[in-house]
Amino acid sequence: MRIKRKTKNKTFDLGQGFYLKFRLVPKIQSRVGCIWFFGMAVSKSKKQINRFLSSRKNKLSGQKTGRTGFLTFSIAVKQIHAWLYELPENDQLLFQCETLKQYEIYKKRILKKEKITWYCSDKKLLFIAASTK
């Protein structure tokens, strides 16, 4: 089945030469709705981020730890909320973490402070939420 929705992108300048880019890609289309994959990357070069998000073969020079890590985390949660409200009815957003530590941080925030219902998978380190329309 052909997906007729466009990819959404958003880039932030974190200062100190770092850029943060989010991408929301429609991946799986069904009769009911669409599943969107959420991805993010931090790096000193926009070109490097674009290559990473398209192929995932390159290493990034960015950091997701320390002070910058908390900043990227808070911006990511705000962007996920904004896009959940923009998604059409019956669509879902899927966000998969790369590490267990990252998953635990997001799980702690999402389950305690969110009004949106999330499905969490501890084995696959992913979150799924339905659009809020």
Query: pLDDT-derived band of residue 61, with 50, 70 and 90 as boundaries?
Result: low
Q: What are 3-21's pLDDT values in tens digits?
A: 677 888 888 888 888 888 8
- The structure's pTM equals 0.79
Q: Where are the domains of the chain?
A: 8-130
Which stretch of 15-19, 84-88, 89-93, 111-115 has the lowest confidence by average pLDDT? 111-115
Q: Strand pairing of 18-29 and 34-43? A: antiparallel
Q: Strand pairing of 126-130 and 92-96? A: antiparallel
Distances (CA, A) of 102 to 45, 64, 97, 107: 23, 9, 6, 9
